[in-house]
């Protein structure tokens, strides 16, 4: 019995040593800047293919965004005091809090019109601008992950796993304000977390305030993020300085570079000013941060907007006091989590779409739920990782980062859940339960989970390459652009008259 046992032990040791060496090589490769550049290339190329070949509009409100961008292109001011009749298809856009993206995108749109581009060229051009925003965002997400004390290897692995989520390149290829949110969000987090140890307190308070204000008028559903950022800044400053905050602010003003402080102050004034103009005025005038369409326009106009009329009619026929409404726990477990998670693997388009602007939104969705193996294996890895995260939470590095990112995610996810459950109660159906609303938090959440995995396996390093290989093999059927390439149908693509000039 001794000889076989000894042989097995030697074989086990040789295998373990080999896996440890493999882990070291993988860590070296993952940490390379070239690997990071390869991630960006993989992401951008995948999104570019989707943007180039997919007919308009794609699933997530492309016709809505392009239509409003076209209307904004008719004026120079970001503030719309009145709207033309065709804007009725988009509800109210005069006091809509989510307007800055449309205004900014109206400038390249004007340029495309100046050169005589048709709708197809305008769509593809704006899609590529959005891909650029999403690609640049990866650079800032990397900076945030490194600031969160993740190693370069773990930071790059986090970004790789993000780009493997089918929704990531698919959403990046859209004309959609989510891509600008993805760019601004890591900048906001970085400026907040800088306050933990920077001597330039005033600079980063101003930058955080400005970015929060700008973010809030790009997409109103980021308000919970803005609130979490404000709370984080207050808590960090209170813990760090206690009663010595004013001297610290004065010192940072005295020793800071004047040009940088002036730029930060201008950003703060602009961002906070936009926030006040939109949200404060809306609340004081209409009693809501986002006024109902009918408060500003008549029923006839608002009924042209498909989302408004859907909600209006659903509310009239729904009894919010009925007894068959799912409990919060049942709703969360049986509907919300599966749909939010499953939505991250969706790709598709509309079969009744049209390049004609200012008309009723298309309704016939043609989509895929992605690769089942990848979905299930990813869910298992994520659930195990979340367990590790809870177990090792207090032992992980960078306490401030963990609490800022984790707390912001919980507040934001809670707001999304509350909106969806309120829709179930008031409208009879949990409208807007979509995985794309969680895309901004895939990177920080996966980063924290990988940090927990790294801590859990610190004494069994040989297990790491095995787990990574399993994950990658099980994702081959749907990672990133592969979902689109594998499951798309001819009905998803531009017809020959639209794309023949590009693809020969």
pLDDT digits (tens, 9 = 90+) for 269-309: 999 999 999 999 999 999 998 899 988 988 999 989 989 88
Average pLDDT over the chain reads: 90
Instruction: From 106, 117, 120, 104, select the one nearest 51 (Cα to Cα).
Output: 120
Q: Residues 6 or more apart from 397 whose CB is under 8 A from it?
A: 149, 451
- 458 or 173, which is more confident? 173
Phi-psi region of 394 (alpha: psi -120 to 50; beta: other; left: phi over 0): alpha
DSSP class of residue 353? -
Grade residue 331 by pLDDT with cuts at 50, 70 and 90. very high
Asked whether 364 and 472 are in contact (CB, 8 A), the reply is no
Grade residue 196 by pLDDT with cuts at 50, 70 and 90. confident
Select the highest-mean-pLDDT range: 63-67, 147-151, 235-239. Answer: 63-67
Residues forming beta bridges with residue 493, ordered by sequence position: 54
Residue 456: what are its φ and ψ, rounded to 5°?
-65, -30
Rg (CA), the chain: 25
- 15 or 2, which is more confident? 15
- Mean pLDDT check: name the lowest of 310-314, 329-333, 334-338, 408-412: 310-314
CA distance linking residue 435 with residue 178, whole number of Å = 12
Grade residue 1 by pLDDT with cuts at 50, 70 and 90. very low
CA distance linking residue 362 with residue 364, whole number of Å = 6
- What is the model's pTM? 0.93
pLDDT at 127 over 60: yes
Hey, where are the domains in the chain? 21-316+326-503
pLDDT at 499 over 60: no
Select the highest-mean-pLDDT range: 29-38, 86-95, 291-300, 323-332. Answer: 29-38
pLDDT digits (tens, 9 = 90+) for 370-406: 999 999 999 999 999 999 999 999 888 888 888 999 9
How far CA 482 is from CA of 43, 49, 348, 447, 501, in Å, comes to: 11, 11, 13, 23, 25
- Mean pLDDT check: name the lowest of 47-51, 177-181, 258-262: 258-262
pLDDT of residue 58: 92
């Amino acid at each position: 019995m001794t000889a076989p046992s000894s042989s097995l032990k030697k074989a086990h040791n040789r295998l373990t040593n080999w896996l440890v060496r493999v882990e070291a090589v993988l860590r070296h490769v993952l940490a390379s800047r070239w690997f990071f550049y390869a991630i960006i290339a993989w992401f951008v190329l995948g999104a570019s293919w989707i943007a180039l070949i997919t007919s308009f509009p794609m699933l997530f409100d492309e016709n809505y965004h392009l239509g409003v961008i076209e209307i904004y292109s008719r004026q120079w001011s970001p503030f719309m005091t009145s709207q033309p009749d065709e804007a009725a298809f988009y509800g109210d856009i005069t006091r809509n809090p989510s307007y800055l993206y449309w205004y900014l995108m109206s400038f390249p749109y004007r340029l495309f019109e100046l050169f005589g581009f048709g709708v197809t060229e305008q769509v593809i051009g704006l899609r590529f601008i959005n891909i650029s925003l999403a690609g640049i965002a990866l650079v800032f997400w990397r900076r945030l992950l490194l600031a969160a004390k993740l190693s370069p290897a773990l930071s790059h692995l986090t970004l790789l796993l993000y780009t493997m989520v089918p929704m990531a390149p698919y959403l990046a290829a859209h004309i959609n304000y989510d891509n600008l949110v993805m760019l601004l969000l890591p900048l906001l987090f970085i400026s907040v977390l800088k306050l933990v140890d920077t001597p330039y307190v005033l600079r980063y308070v101003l930058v955080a305030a400005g970015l929060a204000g700008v973010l809030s008028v790009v997409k109103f559903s980021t308000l919970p993020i803005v609130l979490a950022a404000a709370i984080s800044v207050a808590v960090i400053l209170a813990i760090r300085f206690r009663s010595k905050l004013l001297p610290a602010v004065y010192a940072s003003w005295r020793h800071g570079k004047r040009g940088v402080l002036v730029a930060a102050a201008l950003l703060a004034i602009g961002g906070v000013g936009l926030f006040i103009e939109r949200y404060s005025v809306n609340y004081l005038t209409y009693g809501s941060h986002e006024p109902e369409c009918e408060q500003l326009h008549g029923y006839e106009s608002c009924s042209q907007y498909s989302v408004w009329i859907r909600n209006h009619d659903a509310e009239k026929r729904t009894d919010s006091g009925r007894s068959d409404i799912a409990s919060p726990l049942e709703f969360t477990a049986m509907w919300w989590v599966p749909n939010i998670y499953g939505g991250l693997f969706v790709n598709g388009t509309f079969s009744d779409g049209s390049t004609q602007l200012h008309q009723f939104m298309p309704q016939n969705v043609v989509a895929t739920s992605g690769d089942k193996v990848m979905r299930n294996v990813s869910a298992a890895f994520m659930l195990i990782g979340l367990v590790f995260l809870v177990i090792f939470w207090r032992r992980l590095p960078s306490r401030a980062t963990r609490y800022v990112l984790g707390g912001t995610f919980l507040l934001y996810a809670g707001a999304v859940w509350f909106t969806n459950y309120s829709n179930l109660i008031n409208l009879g159906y949990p409208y807007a339960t979509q995985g794309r609303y969680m895309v901004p938090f895939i990177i920080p959440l996966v980063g924290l989970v990988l940090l927990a995995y790294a801590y859990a396996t610190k004494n069994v390093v040989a297990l790491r390459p095995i787990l990574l290989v399993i994950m990658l093999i099980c994702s081959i059927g749907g990672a990133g652009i592969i979902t689109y390439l594998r499951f798309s149908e001819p009905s998803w693509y531009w017809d020959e008259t639209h794309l023949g000039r590009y693809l020969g």
